């Protein structure tokens, strides 16, 4: 495994580790196999937000497919931070990938004008789904494949928009915790401003991921890593984790299982798709 499993309590508190060089080589091979070998597609479309996850995805795609075959899209809304655009540009300039900026304000507001009472959560979901609409349409135009950017921490905590961030058919970061993505970013040479800044969905001023979650990524990753190994809440507290942090993480994981599954199909036959009808590769 790329992540190291460490048995000592002190090491567990430090969270999951990674071999960034090995991970990079594996993920580049994964992208080549999934796009070129399995699908016959040589171009990738990536939503470049100015954050570290999408930056790492762009770097991996450039290595796997060549910079000329990577198409990045910056999709700001009216309230988006200007720094998000400039940070994304650092990636474009460093890699030499294709880039286009498509303002989504008119498209989002075209719907939200009928829902003036929509709160920040609903507005953010509309923005995320609009961005995915753009990426899939551009992929059809460019004969490319949208590549996902969501990390394992966000997926386990349910911190993503359903049928938006999780929609691309290929995701190189989905089995990497956020702290592992940061380590991989440093290894790949992602510009420091993207690696060092506080992660944010950029939905409103001064909003941060960790503020929304109520826990730092470092603490969440360490707890999630141990939860996935089968430790109970009581055992985690015995190993030195804060009881309130453990309860918060457990609650978020258990309350968002539905976001990590395909739509539930009512089975009427013995050939229901994704229930019984599976190709060997689907198992």
Task: Quickly count: other Cβ atoms within 10 Å of residue 191's Cβ.
Answer: 16
- Tell me the pLDDT band of 153, cut-offs 50, 70 and 90: very high
- Tell me the pLDDT band of 217, cut-offs 50, 70 and 90: very high
- Tell me the pLDDT band of 8, cut-offs 50, 70 and 90: low
pLDDT reported for residue 42: 98
pLDDT reported for residue 6: 46
17 with 105: CB under 8 angstroms?
Answer: no
pLDDT reported for residue 262: 79
66-76 confidence digits (pLDDT tens): 999 999 999 99
CA dist 48 and 44 (Å) reads 12
CA dist 89 and 114 (Å) reads 34
CATH superfamily of 9-213: HUPs (3.40.50.620)
By C-alpha distance, which of 111, 221, 146, 140 is closest to 176?
221
78-105 confidence digits (pLDDT tens): 999 999 999 999 999 999 999 999 999 9
pLDDT reported for residue 47: 98
Task: Say which residue, 281 or 38, is predicted with more confidence.
Answer: 38
170-205 confidence digits (pLDDT tens): 999 999 999 999 999 999 999 999 999 999 877 766
- Tell me the pLDDT band of 265, cut-offs 50, 70 and 90: confident
pLDDT reported for residue 278: 55
91 with 188: CB under 8 angstroms?
Answer: no
Q: What is the DSSP letter of 81?
A: -
CA dist 130 and 128 (Å) reads 5
Q: Where do the domains of the chain lie? A: 9-213
Query: Is the per-residue pLDDT at 277 higher than 70?
Result: no
| DSSP calls for 162-209 | TTTTT-SSB-SSTTS-HHHHHHHHHHHT--HHHHHSPP---SSTT--H
The label of the residue with tokens 């939503």 reads: 47
By C-alpha distance, which of 224, 44, 252, 244 is closest to 152?
224
By C-alpha distance, which of 32, 22, 85 is closest to 54?
85
33-47 confidence digits (pLDDT tens): 999 999 999 999 999
97-101, 132-136, 210-214 — which is least confidently predicted?
Answer: 210-214
Average pLDDT, integer, range 105-114: 98
- Tell me the pLDDT band of 62, cut-offs 50, 70 and 90: very high
Average pLDDT, integer, range 249-262: 92
pLDDT reported for residue 270: 76
């Amino acid at each position: 495994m790329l992540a190291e499993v460490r048995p000592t309590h002190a090491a567990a508190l430090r969270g999951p580790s990674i071999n960034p060089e090995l991970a990079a080589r594996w993920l580049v091979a994964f992208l080549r196999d999934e796009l070129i070998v399995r699908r016959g597609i040589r171009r990738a479309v990536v939503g470049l937000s100015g954050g570290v996850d999408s930056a790492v995805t762009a770097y991996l795609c450039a290595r796997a497919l060549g910079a000329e075959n990577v198409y990045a899209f910056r999709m700001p809304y009216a309230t988006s931070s200007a720094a998000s655009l400039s940070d994304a540009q650092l990636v474009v300039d460093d890699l030499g990938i294709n880039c286009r900026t498509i303002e989504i304000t008119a498209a989002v507001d075209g719907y939200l004008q009928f829902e003036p009472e929509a709160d920040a959560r609903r507005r953010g979901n509309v923005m995320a789904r609009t961005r995915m609409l753009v990426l899939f349409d551009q992929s059809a135009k460019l004969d490319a494949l949208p590549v996902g950017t969501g990390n394992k921490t966000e997926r386990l905590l349910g911190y993503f928009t359903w049928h938006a961030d999780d929609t691309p058919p290929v995701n190189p970061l989905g089995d990497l915790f956020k702290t592992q993505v940061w380590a991989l970013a440093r290894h790949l040479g992602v510009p420091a401003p993207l690696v060092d800044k506080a992660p944010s969905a950029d939905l409103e001023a001064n909003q941060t991921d960790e503020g929304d979650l109520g826990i730092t990524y470092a603490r969440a990753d360490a707890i999630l890593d141990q939860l996935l190994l089968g430790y109970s809440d009581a055992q985690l507290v015995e190993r030195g984790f804060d009881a309130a942090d453990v309860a918060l993480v457990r609650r978020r994981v258990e309350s968002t299982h539905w976001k990590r599954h395909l739509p539930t199909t009512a089975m009427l036959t013995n050939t229901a798709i994704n229930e019984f009808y599976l190709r060997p590769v689907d198992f």
